[in-house]
Structure 1
Amino acid sequence: MTAQTHAKQAPDGAAPQGPPSGRARIGALLSSPAGRNLGLVLALLLLCVIGMATVGDRFGSFDNMMTILRSASVIGVISVGMTFVITGGGIDLSVGAIVALASVWATTIATQQMAADFHWIVIVTTALLVGAGAGLINGLLIAYGKMAPFIVTLAMMAAARGLAELISDKRTQVVTERGLIDFFGGKVLGVPVLVIIFALVAAGGWVLLNRTTFGRRTLAVGGNPEAARLAGIDVRRHTTILYVLLGLACGLAAVMIMARTTAGIATHGSMYELDAIAAVVIGGTLLSGGRGTVVGTVFGVLIFMTLTNVFVLNNLDTSTQAVAKGAIIVAAVLLQQRVASRGSTP
């Protein structure tokens, strides 16, 4: 059998094309969702090995695993919402401040009095409405005001944090509704409710992004807004909804952090924007938009929380943690660019 019979039949005038090269196959594997998730799993396992080697049983204990998951739950909920915004071509620097504002507004004397007269669900509803309202303002200014997401959310970060300080008078507002603390601070079959909420939000986010028209439109808007508009998608309305969705996630995160700390404070959510964006980028979502993965985001959150836990158990200071997080973010972006270039190289 001759070599020509192994070549693919090509159109007249075109050279026969053989099978893709090994480099192309490797690039395709690395750029595929399965390849990216496999890399994240290996990174997480490596951190666990380092934790076991440096700390021992203290790291591998069930209580410590639950501590990691509990810590990951709050920032994880925000990160799922951030995945949608970044996939849609946006960015939000105000998530931490929105969490603080929602926690403070939901723990005012007036709000807690209403909760005492009716039900603690009033506190939850207030936090969700504050978060959604802040997200709506962001979305309207970005989509209809045609302002840059960086500028709008930077302004919201300053304004929301300042408003939280004004409402609370820079004081800690203690949650007096024991029902809320008992519910969100409880456990189901030994698993903290906060972890279950994170799992439900992640599962819902995965379905919304990968199995619905809304998710396909989010990918289209982030990939090419003009093409999405020509295809009949209301890009401005969709962008606004994405920021409202992230605002709701911030409101829910505020409730979760109130249950953990039993207080609403204007300092809640400090640097959450960095952690959320870092988790999303490490997970494989493109900062330029058009590609997003909720599964990758979940792994990104777990990697960061595990890293923080290893640092804490080894008595390393927060400055070292910050340097490591910054280095990981840069490495993740560089890896994204390299994988993208390999995937496009025959």
Structure 2
Amino acid sequence: MNTQTSAPPAEEHASRSSWLRGSAGRNLGLVLALALICVVGVITGGERFADWGNILTILRLAAVLGVVSIGMTFVITSGGIDLSVGSVLGLATVWATTLATQTMADSFHWIVIVFTALAVGTAAGLINGAIIAYGKVVAFIATLAMMAGARGLAEIISDRQTQRVQSNEFTAFFRADFLGVPVLVWMFVVVAIAGWFLLNRTTFGRRTVAIGGNAEAARLAGIKVKRHTVYIYGLAGLTAGIAAVGMLGRTTAGTSTNGFLLELDAIAAVVVGGTLLAGGRGTIFGTVLGVLIFTTLTNVFVMNNMSSSAQLVAKGLIIVVAVLLQQRFANKPSSTT
């Protein structure tokens, strides 16, 4: 008599449950959610939604939010939070479009505008990190103070006026297309790939995950937690500076209102994407999907003339559901994708 062995039903169920709770299951759920939103968009918007021009509009909107969200992914993975990235973006756009900066850009090259925005963003992030790591101030409070301070400084510098980018070469470069895709979208793609590599294939990423999982254990393992924390917030500031360049390229306007409440959208995209709000697990791919879900959903709302209040309610519900699902299904052990 031939006997065949097979995996017990309990083991098969455990394997399926583990797969669903893993990165593959989370990403599949996000892809299905994005596909469902697109179907709703096609049903309610028809050809207007499916038009290539509208798709590029969604991607342009996703580019600025997406770049900020990549930096936010590292912060949240480490167990922190950054409420200042939107204000820092606004400050960077204002500083990069001051008369002094644009005069230098006219004398040398428009790249001066880019370097200024990156420098302002990185400096603000490093200040956040130093206050949190060495000043032992809670990240929520430290970045809340930076959010208020950066927005106020931007208003003082600009006198609450809109400052226009005067360099035609700058505008032409960032409004150009490459292989039929806007340069702003390529910026997002490059930052996302670099972020994925940094988080998943370098010691920097492993240390970030370790600190988010257990900062004390990471310290005992030899990781310089305080110094690494400064680097993480500096990285978040750098991505805010890159996003500021994208914002200037898209709008050609430096104003203190740029990036208003962008930090909330970034946090939402990161959490919906599968990064644990408590730290210890981060996913760049999930963050990209989260950004696309929010921007596509916003586009569907706009095409159907839904009020901004209804949009905020919908986003709030999505965030709550995402956090509840994390608490229900997420595994605490660290993993990255």
Tell me, in whole angstroms, the C-alpha distance in 2 between the residues paired with 1:44 and 1:307.
Answer: 9
Tell me, in whole angstroms, the C-alpha distance in 1 between the residues paired with 2:211 and 2:104.
Answer: 41
Show the counterpart of 1:235.
Answer: 225
Deviation readout 1:259-314 (Å, 9 max, x if unpaired): 11111000000110110000000000000000000000000000000000000001
Shift of 1:190: 1.1
Asked if structure 1 preserves the Cα contact closer than 8 Å seen for 2:269 and 2:291, the reply is yes
1:199 maps to 2:189: yes
Show the counterpart of 2:160.
Answer: 170
Cα pair distance change 1:341/1:295, threshold 3 Å: closer
Asked if structure 1 preserves the Cα contact closer than 8 Å seen for 2:86 and 2:260, the reply is yes
1:147-166 equivalences in 2 (<5 Å): 147-166=137-156
Is the partner of 2:330 in helix, strand or coil? Answer: helix
2:317 is matched with which residue: 318, 327, 331? 327
1:282-297 equivalences in 2 (<5 Å): 282-297=272-287
Cα pair distance change 1:150/1:43, threshold 3 Å: same
Tell me, in whole angstroms, the C-alpha distance in 2 between the residues paired with 1:291 and 1:67.
Answer: 31
Structure 2 residue identity aligned to 1:176: Q
Gaps of 5+ in 1: 9-17
Show the counterpart of 2:120.
Answer: 130
Instruction: From the CA coordinates, give the structure whose radius of gyration is larger.
Output: 1
Tell me, in whole angstroms, the C-alpha distance in 1 between the residues paired with 2:116 and 2:13.
Answer: 54
Cα pair distance change 1:2/1:151, threshold 3 Å: farther
Asked if structure 2 preserves the Cα contact closer than 8 Å seen for 1:111 and 1:123, the reply is yes
1:58 maps to 2:48: yes
Asked if structure 2 preserves the Cα contact closer than 8 Å seen for 1:24 and 1:342, the reply is no
1:93 maps to 2:83: yes
Is the partner of 2:305 in helix, strand or coil? Answer: coil
Structure 2 residue identity aligned to 1:241: Y
Show the counterpart of 2:35.
Answer: 45
Asked if structure 1 preserves the Cα contact closer than 8 Å seen for 2:162 and 2:253, the reply is yes
Shift of 1:230: 0.8
Tell me, in whole angstroms, the C-alpha distance in 2 between the residues paired with 1:7 and 1:51.
Answer: 45
Please report the TM-score for the alignment, with normalisation by the length of structure 1: 0.93
Tell me, in whole angstroms, the C-alpha distance in 2 between the residues paired with 1:222 and 1:28.
Answer: 22
2:98 is matched with which residue: 85, 104, 108? 108
Is the partner of 1:291 in helix, strand or coil? Answer: coil
Deviation readout 1:115-163 (Å, 9 max, x if unpaired): 0000011110010000001001100000111110000000000000000
Asked if structure 1 preserves the Cα contact closer than 8 Å seen for 2:21 and 2:331, the reply is no
Shift of 1:23: 4.7
Deviation readout 1:18-42 (Å, 9 max, x if unpaired): 6644553343122111100000000
Deviation readout 1:236-268 (Å, 9 max, x if unpaired): 011110000000000011111011111100000
Tell me, in whole angstroms, the C-alpha distance in 2 between the residues paired with 1:317 and 1:311.
Answer: 8
Tell me, in whole angstroms, the C-alpha distance in 2 between the residues paired with 1:73 and 1:7.
Answer: 49
2:210 is matched with which residue: 220, 223, 234? 220
The CA RMSD over aligned residues, in Å, is 1.9
Structure 2 residue identity aligned to 1:150: F
Shift of 1:340: 2.6
Tell me, in whole angstroms, the C-alpha distance in 2 between the residues paired with 1:27 and 1:75.
Answer: 33
Tell me the matched-pair count.
Answer: 333
Gaps of 5+ in 2: none
Tell me, in whole angstroms, the C-alpha distance in 2 between the residues paired with 1:272 and 1:323.
Answer: 16
Structure 1 residue identity aligned to 2:212: G
Is the partner of 2:277 in helix, strand or coil? Answer: coil
2:169 is matched with which residue: 168, 179, 182? 179
Tell me, in whole angstroms, the C-alpha distance in 2 between the residues paired with 1:211 and 1:41.
Answer: 24
Deviation readout 1:198-223 (Å, 9 max, x if unpaired): 00100110011011111111110110
Show the counterpart of 2:247.
Answer: 257
Asked if structure 1 preserves the Cα contact closer than 8 Å seen for 2:64 and 2:246, the reply is yes
Show the counterpart of 1:270.
Answer: 260
Tell me, in whole angstroms, the C-alpha distance in 2 between the residues paired with 1:30 and 1:320.
Answer: 31
Structure 2 residue identity aligned to 1:47: I
Structure 2 residue identity aligned to 1:196: W
1:317 maps to 2:310: no
Asked if structure 2 preserves the Cα contact closer than 8 Å seen for 1:27 and 1:339, the reply is no
Tell me, in whole angstroms, the C-alpha distance in 1 between the residues paired with 2:259 and 2:331.
Answer: 36
